[in-house]
């Protein structure tokens, strides 16, 4: 089994999770991360690393930092995470419903755009055909100039 470090620097975690050091300092300011200090350096624990993983995942699926913070704070209730897990599950299900509704709306919008593109393409094609008929008509029929 591979040994996992107990401490991490801001640059290590930023690189691992694809976030900026500035974002991590922001999460710290919001109380989501609590690194120890060694001089000016921030030292992150495994707990901070786990919290950052949840922050990134939560943001990816559309949770606000406030919602993420509420779920993370429930970890400290010392009830075997039951409250945290139940609350998280409720929020996950609600978010899933919202995302499914968004997907439905997006699919409808995409279909509307496809239909509109087809209509505009047809209009352009008909316009081009009408121009060709007019040009061919002039070439075939001499003008009735007196």
- Render pLDDT for 37-84 as a digit per residue (tens, 0 to 9): 999 999 999 999 999 999 999 999 999 999 999 988 888 788 888 898
Q: According to the model, what pLDDT value does residue 21 have?
A: 96
What residue ranges do the domains of the chain occupy?
A: 1-62
Residues in contact with 72: Cβ distance below 8 Å, sequence separation at least 6, in sequence order: 32, 51, 54, 55
For residue 133, pLDDT beyond 90: no
Residues in contact with 30: Cβ distance below 8 Å, sequence separation at least 6, in sequence order: 65, 69
For residue 2, pLDDT beyond 50: no
Mean pLDDT, range 7-21, rounded to an integer: 96
Region class of 126: left (phi > 0), else alpha (psi between -120 and 50), else beta: alpha
Phi and psi (nearest 5°) for 44?
-95, 140
d(CA 129, CA 70): 63
CATH ID of 1-62, from 3.30.70.1150, 3.40.50.1970, 1.10.1660.10, 3.40.50.300: 1.10.1660.10
Q: According to the model, what pLDDT value does residue 127 have?
A: 84
Question: Which CA distances in Å does 93 have to 19, 29, 77, 80?
Answer: 26, 29, 22, 21
Bigger pLDDT: 20 or 78? 20
Indicate the pLDDT class of residue 136, thresholds 50, 70 and 90.
low
Helix pair angle (65-73, 46-60), 10° resolution: 140
Ranked by mean pLDDT, the top range of 40-44, 126-130, 131-135 is: 40-44
Residues in contact with 99: Cβ distance below 8 Å, sequence separation at least 6, in sequence order: 61, 62
> How many percent of the chain have pLDDT more than 90?
68
Tokens 């495994």 appear where?
46
């Amino acid at each position: 089994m591979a040994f996992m470090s107990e401490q991490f620097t801001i640059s290590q975690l930023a690189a691992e999770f694809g976030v900026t050091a500035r974002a991590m300092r922001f999460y710290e300011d919001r109380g989501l991360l609590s690194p120890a200090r060694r001089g000016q350096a921030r030292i992150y624990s495994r707990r901070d690393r786990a919290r950052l993983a949840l922050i990134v995942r939560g943001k990816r699926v559309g949770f606000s930092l406030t919602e993420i913070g509420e779920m993370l704070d429930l970890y400290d209730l010392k009830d075997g995470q039951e409250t945290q897990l139940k609350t998280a599950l409720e929020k996950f299900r609600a978010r899933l419903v919202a995302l499914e509704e968004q997907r439905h709306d997006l699919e409808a919008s995409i279909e509307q755009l496809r239909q509109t593109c087809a209509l505009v393409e047809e209009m352009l094609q008909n316009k081009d055909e009408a121009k060709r008929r007019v040009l061919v008509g002039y070439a075939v029929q001499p003008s009735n100039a007196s």
